[in-house]
Amino acid sequence: MGSIRKGKDGELDVNNLPEGVYFFSGQEGFVKIEVDQYGHQSWDLHNWFASLDPDSNEIQHQKTIEDIKRRLNAKTGIINPPKNLVKKFFTNPFKKK
């Protein structure tokens, strides 16, 4: 198995994965990516929350895949939560500086 390259800002270069089977998980479920010897990828989104909508089409699946690629953390292999689900930390007004 070859090396997996990290892109800018710690992003994983998902478009150039070596041949093999990969699993990535996040708060919305997990995805399976199969890469053949020619570099063609097959994404299994059956266990990803956004893909469970029966009315979603191929265009929506491609948007979901692009969203997952953007949020994938190269160091941990975990898919970060969407921006609107990230917990915000407020400063404590009672804390002494």
pLDDT score at 58: 82
Within 10 A of 83 (CB to CB), how many other CB atoms are there?
7
Nearest to 82 by CA among 44, 33, 2, 28: 28
Distance CA(79)–CA(29), nearest Å, equals: 9
pLDDT score at 1: 44
pLDDT score at 16: 87
Listed by start position, the domains of the chain span 8-81
pLDDT score at 13: 80
The parts of the chain modelled with pLDDT lower than 70 are 1-12, 51, 84-93, 95-97
Calculate the alpha carbon distances from 96 to 6, 18, 91, 93 in Å: 40, 51, 11, 8
pLDDT score at 15: 85
pLDDT score at 49: 86
